[in-house]
Amino acid sequence: MRIGMLTSGGDAPGLNAVIRGAVLTGTTVHHHEFVGFKDGWKGLVENDTLPLGRHEVKGISKQGGTILGTSRTNPFEGRGGVDRINDVFAENRLDALIAIGGEGTLAAAKRLTDAGIRIVGVPKTVDNDLDATDYTFGFDTAVGIATEAMDRLRTTGDAHNRCMVAEVMGRHVGWIALHSGMAAGAHAILIPEQNTSMDQLCAWVQSAYDRGRAPLVVVAEGFTLDGADQPHSERGLDAFGRPRLGGIGEMLAPMIEERTGIETRATTLGHIQRGGTPSAFDRVLATRLGMAAISAVDDARWGEMVALRGTEIVRVPFEAALGKLKTVPQARYDEAALLFG
């Protein structure tokens, strides 16, 4: 078979391990050939291809980013659409496509599969918010990076008796904040799923400070104070004139300082969380998903994605991952909150 492959949406550490897992299994075990498409759906629509064989995937598991490049292009926009993609399939003599991406990618893949295009998906997001899979690769790496950063923030916070606020990724859900905050022993964790008042936050900060600690507050970029008090739109525009995704950490720091009198500093970790070497856990998960995607192609499981359930790799229909996000359950937050303050 000739199999196309693309990576789409925000990158996540482990993408290269998926590509390697799929290409090595596909070429050596099943004698498939591969065609790489550059920069996600954009490369498919524009028929912009890259060679993809054993040579190209040599030693790439440990590399961050993606050798195929990525973009947030929608395959139905511009000159894209079902007919165009069918033409590109024909020009490249493709039998199938493996699309590696998050919710947007899988939603597009579902529309294309419904129109008869043969696609298997591999789920990806550092935010870990995709339903129908227990974990996504990239999340473990992001949590590790955020935890290490917070360990560092704590020593400088301790030295100056300051409250340190760390803003982490998670525009819709608080998985990175919850896990990195627990790992680093945060005194407060603020996530989009939970309403937390300024009074409650300052009480946690004050209680930690009174015990001689430098308070550490972890906030997910999508958190809004008291639910609706501070919608994203009020955070203004970034330097490029786009609505700011984050900025909540910078907003909270002076408010904490004003109310508690405790000197406070904010750090936004941003894209550092998505860069660099994937953790061993993410490499293994990503490699297994890549290998499983080849089995799914061999079994003609179009319209399905490979996913992690417990320790097993399973197959689920695209629609199982679409429509609702995997949010942090109340019980997980309550468990973490027992140790706040």
Task: Judge whether 105 is annotated as a binding position.
Answer: yes
Q: Report the nearest approach of ligand F6P to the CB of residue 92 (Å).
A: 28
Four-residue CA torsion sign, 119, 122, 126, 131? positive
Task: Judge whether 103 is annotated as a binding position.
Answer: yes
Q: Report the nearest approach of ligand F6P to the CB of residue 125 (Å).
A: 5
Task: Judge whether 162 is annotated as a binding position.
Answer: yes
DSSP string, 164-183: EEEEE--SS--HHHHHHHHH
- Nearest CA to 171 among 117, 243, 252? 243
For residues 205 and 221, which CB has a smaller minimum distance to ligand F6P in the complex?
Answer: 221
Q: What is the DSSP letter of 55?
A: T
Q: Report the nearest approach of ligand F6P to the CB of residue 256 (Å).
A: 23
Q: CA 253 to CA 272: how far, in whole Å?
A: 21
Task: Judge whether 10 is annotated as a binding position.
Answer: yes
Q: Report the nearest approach of ligand F6P to the CB of residue 63 (Å).
A: 18
Q: Report the nearest approach of ligand F6P to the CB of residue 274 (Å).
A: 6
For residues 142 and 292, which CB has a smaller minimum distance to ligand F6P in the complex?
Answer: 142
For residues 243 and 261, which CB has a smaller minimum distance to ligand F6P in the complex?
Answer: 243
Task: Judge whether 125 is annotated as a binding position.
Answer: yes
> Distances in Å between the alpha carbon of 258 and those of 179, 197, 253?
28, 15, 9
**Whose CB is nearest to ligand F6P?**
169
- Is 114 a known active-site residue? no
Task: Kindly name the residue from 39, 83, 95, 127 that is annotated as catalytic.
Answer: 127
Encoding tokens for residue 20?
Answer: 């390697």
Q: Report the nearest approach of ligand F6P to the CB of residue 126 (Å).
A: 5
Q: List alpha helices for the chain, DSSP H.
A: 15-24, 41-45, 82-91, 103-114, 139-160, 175-184, 198-210, 248-260, 280-298, 318-321, 330-337
Q: What is the DSSP letter of 237?
A: B
Q: CA 187 to CA 147: how far, in whole Å?
A: 14
Phi/psi-derived region of residue 204, left when phi > 0, alpha when psi is between -120 and 50, beta in every other case: alpha
Could you list the residues that contact ligand F6P (CB under 6 A)? 10, 125-127, 169-171, 221, 245, 274
For residues 169 and 262, which CB has a smaller minimum distance to ligand F6P in the complex?
Answer: 169
Q: Which helix (H) or strand (E) holds 306?
A: strand 304-309
- Nearest CA to 301 among 289, 285, 317? 317
Q: In what order do the strands lie in the sheet with 264-268?
A: 188-190, 216-220, 163-168, 264-268
For residues 169 and 307, which CB has a smaller minimum distance to ligand F6P in the complex?
Answer: 169
Task: Judge whether 18 is annotated as a binding position.
Answer: no
Task: Judge whether 113 is annotated as a binding position.
Answer: no
Q: What is the DSSP letter of 277?
A: P
For residues 157 and 246, which CB has a smaller minimum distance to ligand F6P in the complex?
Answer: 246
What residues are designated binding site for ATP?
A: 10, 72-73, 102-105
What residues are designated binding site?
A: 10, 72-73, 102-105, 125-127, 162, 169-171, 221, 265, 271-274
Active site residues: 127
What residues are designated binding site for substrate?
A: 125-127, 162, 169-171, 221, 265, 271-274
What residues are designated binding site for Mg(2+)?
A: 103
